[in-house]
Chains A and B, each alone.
Chain A
Amino acid sequence: MEVIATRPKSLTDLNFTYCPGCLHGVAHRLIAEAIDELGMRNNMMGVAPVGCSVFAYKFFNMDMQEAAHGRAPALATGMKRARPDMNVFTYQGDGDLAAIGTAEIVHAANRGEHITVFFVNNAIYGMTGGQMAPTTLPNMKTTTSPYGRDVDDIGYPIRVCELLDSLVAPYFIERVSLLSPVDIVKAKKAVLKALKYNKEERGFTFVEFISTCPTNWGMDALESRTWAKENMLPFFKVQNFRDNGKEA
């Protein structure tokens, strides 16, 4: 019998511990499939963040490091410099990457570190119970913006792809969505491209996933996707920002 679908080798046998309806599992699977398809697993090492995906080091089936909050790009820098013949990726949420780890991501990108950063943006702190993130939308209610995010008081959400796109060094920057099957197929292409460039030592590659948090948004899985489509995608535009390897 021909096997046409199986668990990627780049994922361990552990069951994901994510909430029902969470899209971390989809993002994990896309990355793992791409690593397998590109034949990169034996040379790949990864960095897990602090946040909901803190246990990513248990789920990806390769050597993994668990970083302090926000420091994944610094760890990845040390790892890549220590083992230049290997490939490195980080997997980070919005609180981790766009708040406490802002310096680390900006400077790793600015150095053009030969790493791939996967950034999951669901506009909220999930692990700690739904607090305001640097990506929380204007007027969006969270446990620390209980009256809605007041942009006059605390500012607007940070658009990380646009921020990084102001730097010279990054090689590939793309924002994708995980909100529908069609989006997921497109997201896979961006993941494959980023990791292929990583394998080819082209430079710094970055993929942002627009995701959801049904638990802390107080919605079911489908509602959360509809809400994200209507509210997140107009602010966080799905598009390729930079592809230095694009055929002319």
Chain B
Amino acid sequence: MANKVLMKGNEAVAEAAIRAGCRLYFAYPITPQSELIEYMARMMPKVDGVFVQAESEIAAINMVYGASGCGRRVMTSSSSPGIALKQEGISYLAGANLPAVIINVQRGGPGLGDIQPAQGDYFQATRGGGNGDYYTPVLAPSTVQEFADMASLAFDLADKYRNPVLILSDGLLGQMMEPVEFQDTKTPEELKALDNQHLDWCCCPNEDEPNHHHHEINSLEIDPVVLEKHVLKLADKYAEITANEQRWEEYNVNDDNEILVVAFGTASRICKSSIDDLNKTGHNVGLVRPITLWPYPYEAVSEAVGPKVKKVIVFELNLGQMVEDVRLGVNGKVPVDFMGKVGGLVFTPEEVKAKIKENL
């Protein structure tokens, strides 16, 4: 499909996941990601895939664990309260070195919150989220196109590092329609290769001795000395991901920037509109948009602070969760300021402009 189609983010990412070779999807209904589960319910039977509506988010993520332990591309999705429930399974996936893709179409919190867009799950997403020392790569899209493109990237990263990967979207990206161009769908040969890529460790058909295998999919190590080795080996993997997988976008970043804005996802696209307007009126403002929220592009943020930058301003749809990371990146070079919006409300380009102008 080389032509562009107009689709909701929730449906576009579902279609893109199927094209990327996802043939197993387990989830539980929740707003504002319902179009995603409904798309999978419609489309999976048409591609000989598996769709199961689970009895809970906990069951869904554990079905993902079972399928991933069998070496196949598998995905689940939910929205903030449901993602909180999935944390048990995400920790077990990380502990057992299992690939999987988890999509969070964020809504307002805490608790039941509301069903409007928010970015309040930043801490949870970027600091592991469940019990124990672990990280999951976190991809943050800012357009429907990017949301869709991230499905394939997320599966590739998950398979490469044998680790769960999160796509951190929000209710706005999930619900809005934009033109999307899809990547080519995997051929039957490519699908077969994907299904066979993990046969050396996953649950799969067996043989008699001497080729009999006893693969154990497991996050339990009862001997503390063995568990220490296991956790340190995971840490090596996270270091490798940190070195190799930082992604970000720079928008109008140059040596004459007076202000540098840092924002991700939906917040960043609003900031772009404000920056365009300001640049037209002679104010030079740049933007760094982290695309991977973990690993966080600290150096990229630091290097984007040009010689004339007076201040870095962070815009988020939360109370300043990413500010901590921006401060680590900026490392005291210039002050770091923040503007947030919560409750499922979204700031307008005018509000963003006003905040920037205060500091010019």
Chain A contacts to B: CB under 8 angstroms: 12, 41-45, 47, 54, 57-58, 61-68, 71, 74-79, 81-83, 85-86, 103-104, 106-107, 111
Q: Within 8 Å CB of B63, what residues of A?
A: 74-75, 77-78, 81
**Docked-complex contact A75 and B24, CB < 8 angstroms:** no
Measured CB to CB, the closest approach of chain A to B40, in angstroms, equals 13
Report if B17 contacts A (CB, 8 A). no
Chain A interface, >50% SS class: helix
Q: Within 8 Å CB of B207, what residues of A?
A: 42
Taking residues whose C-beta sits less than 8 angstroms from the other chain, chain B's interface range is 35 or more
- Contact sample, A vs B, 11 pairs, CB 8 Å cutoff: A42-B208, A45-B203, A57-B218, A65-B203, A67-B65, A71-B62, A78-B63, A82-B24, A82-B66, A82-B74, A107-B54
**Contacts A57-B218, A68-B88 hold; do A63 and B206 have CB atoms under 8 A apart?**
yes
**Docked-complex contact A47 and B206, CB < 8 angstroms:** no
Q: Within 8 Å CB of A63, what residues of B?
A: 202-204, 206, 213-217
Measured CB to CB, the closest approach of chain B to A126, in angstroms, equals 15
**Docked-complex contact B62 and A104, CB < 8 angstroms:** yes
Q: Within 8 Å CB of A106, what residues of B?
A: 55
Q: Which residue of A lies closest to B61 (CB)?
A: A74
Of the candidates A62, A67, A86, A107, which one forms a contact with B214 in the assembled complex, judged by CB atoms under 8 Å apart?
A62
**Contacts A12-B214, A74-B59, A74-B62 hold; do A79 and B70 have CB atoms under 8 A apart?**
yes
Report if B89 contacts A (CB, 8 A). yes
Q: Within 8 Å CB of A79, what residues of B?
A: 66-67, 69-70, 203
Q: Within 8 Å CB of B65, what residues of A?
A: 65, 67-68, 71, 74-75, 78
**Docked-complex contact A64 and B24, CB < 8 angstroms:** no
Report if B160 contacts A (CB, 8 A). no
Excluding A41-B206, A104-B62, 4 further A-B contacts by CB distance (< 8 Å) are A61-B214, A63-B203, A79-B69, A82-B67
Measured CB to CB, the closest approach of chain B to A195, in angstroms, equals 16
Measured CB to CB, the closest approach of chain B to A50, in angstroms, equals 9
Report if B280 contacts A (CB, 8 A). no
Of the candidates A78, A82, A85, which one forms a contact with B62 in the assembled complex, judged by CB atoms under 8 Å apart?
A78
**Docked-complex contact A66 and B62, CB < 8 angstroms:** no
Task: Kindly supply a per-residue 1/0 record for chain B positions 65-102, scoring 1 wherever the CB is within 8 Å of any chain A CB and 0 otherwise.
Answer: 11111111010000000000000110010001000000
Of the candidates A66, A74, A82, which one forms a contact with B72 in the assembled complex, judged by CB atoms under 8 Å apart?
A82
4 nearest A-B pairs in the assembled complex, by CB-CB distance: A78-B66, A75-B66, A74-B62, A78-B63
Q: Within 8 Å CB of A74, what residues of B?
A: 54, 58-60, 62-63, 65-66
**Docked-complex contact A103 and B59, CB < 8 angstroms:** yes
> In B182-215, which residues have CB < 8 Å from any A CB?
202-208, 212-215
Q: Which residue of B lies closest to A76 (CB)?
A: B66
**Docked-complex contact B218 and A65, CB < 8 angstroms:** yes
Report if B56 contacts A (CB, 8 A). yes
Task: Kindly supply a per-residue 1/0 record for chain B positions 37-65, scoring 1 wherever the CB is within 8 Å of any chain A CB and 0 otherwise.
Answer: 00000000000001010111011101111
> In B1-38, which residues have CB < 8 Å from any A CB?
24, 26
Q: Which residue of A lies closest to B23 (CB)?
A: A82
Looking at B52, B65, B220, which has the most chain A CB atoms within 10 Å of its CB? B65
Measured CB to CB, the closest approach of chain A to B58, in angstroms, equals 7
**Contacts A81-B52, A81-B63, A104-B55 hold; do A61 and B212 have CB atoms under 8 A apart?**
yes
Report if B254 contacts A (CB, 8 A). no
Report if B252 contacts A (CB, 8 A). no
**Contacts A43-B206, A86-B205 hold; do A65 and B66 have CB atoms under 8 A apart?**
yes
Q: Within 8 Å CB of B215, what residues of A?
A: 63-64
CA distance A47 to B63 in the complex (A): 12
CA distance A83 to B218 in the complex (A): 18
